[in-house]
Chains A and B, each alone.
Chain A
Amino acid sequence: DARVTQTPRHKVTEMGQEVTMRCQPILGHNTVFWYRQTMMQGLELLAYFRNRAPLDDSGMPKDRFSAEMPDATLATLKIQPSEPRDSAVYFCASGLAPGDSPLHFGNGTRLTVT
C-alpha cells in the first residue's frame, strides 16, 4: 500500500534554530503539498509543487520558510530561524493532476519550538 512518508515525526527545537522537514511522496504522483494544521485555521496550505516546480507558496512566510523538491522522491520544508509561533503539525500530501484522484497525506511532523 503506497504511502507518503514524513520525517521526523516529532521535532523539538529552540527558537532561532533551523528546522528541516522531509517528505517522500508516493511514487508516480506529480503534485506535492505542504499543509500546516493549527487550531484556528485547520489545514492551511503552505506550498504546492507540480512536476517539481513550485506553483503556489503564497501561504508561506517568505522570510523564514522555504520549500524545495530536489528530486521527484524528496520534498523539503525549512524554517530558519524558527519561532515559537511555528509550533504546529506539518503535513505533506501528494497526488496526481489533472484528475479527481484524492490527495494522500503523510502522518505529519509535530514541531515544537521553545
Chain B
Amino acid sequence: DQQVKQNSPSLSVQEGRISILNCDYTNSMFDYFLWYKKYPAEGPTFLISISSIKDKNEDGRFTVFLNKSAKHLSLHIVPSQPGDSAVYFCAASELTGGGNKLTFGTGTQLKVEL
C-alpha cells in the first residue's frame, strides 16, 4: 500500500526550462510534506518542505505547491540547471501526532540536459 506516490519514474528537461515533479498521497493524516534530492552514492538531502496550512513555499529556484483537496503536491524548479540532475523523493509525515517518521515515494529521476 503505497501511501505516497510518484507516478513518473523519470523526467527530462532542457537547461533553463522549468522542471515540474509531481507527488500524490492517500493518507489524509499527513500534514507535513518534504522533498529530498539524491545523488548517486550519497544519502538523500533535504530540499524544501511545506506544512498543510500553506499552499505554497518558495526557496530560491525551488517552489513546492500543495493542493490538499486533491492530495497532490508538486515541486517546481526554475530555471533548471545541469546540477539539478538527481533523483527527487517526495515524503510526508504526521507532525501533529508528534512524530517525524517520513513516508517516501518511489522517486523521480530528473535529467537536465544542456
Contact = CB atoms under 8 A, between A and B. Distances in A.
A21 interface: no
A97 B105 CA distance: 22
Given A42-B106, A44-B104, 20 more contacts: A31-B101, A35-B104, A45-B101, A50-B99, A93-B43, A96-B100, A97-B100, A99-B95, A100-B49, A100-B100, A102-B34, A102-B49, A103-B46, A103-B100, A104-B46, A105-B36, A105-B44, A105-B45, A106-B43, A108-B42
Interface residues of B, number: 25
A44 B45 CA distance: 16
Nearest to A3: B43
Interface in A79-114: 91, 93, 95-108
B85 interface: no
B98 A91 contact: no
Contacts of A50: 99
Interface in B29-58: 32, 34, 36, 41-46, 49, 51
A55 B6 CA distance: 27
Nearest to A44: B104
Contacts of A97: 98-100
A41 B100 contact: no
A40 B99 CA distance: 26
Given A91-B43, A105-B44, A108-B43, A42 B104 contact: yes
A26 interface: no
A74 to B, nearest CB: 18
Contacts of A102: 34, 46, 49
A45 B3 CA distance: 12
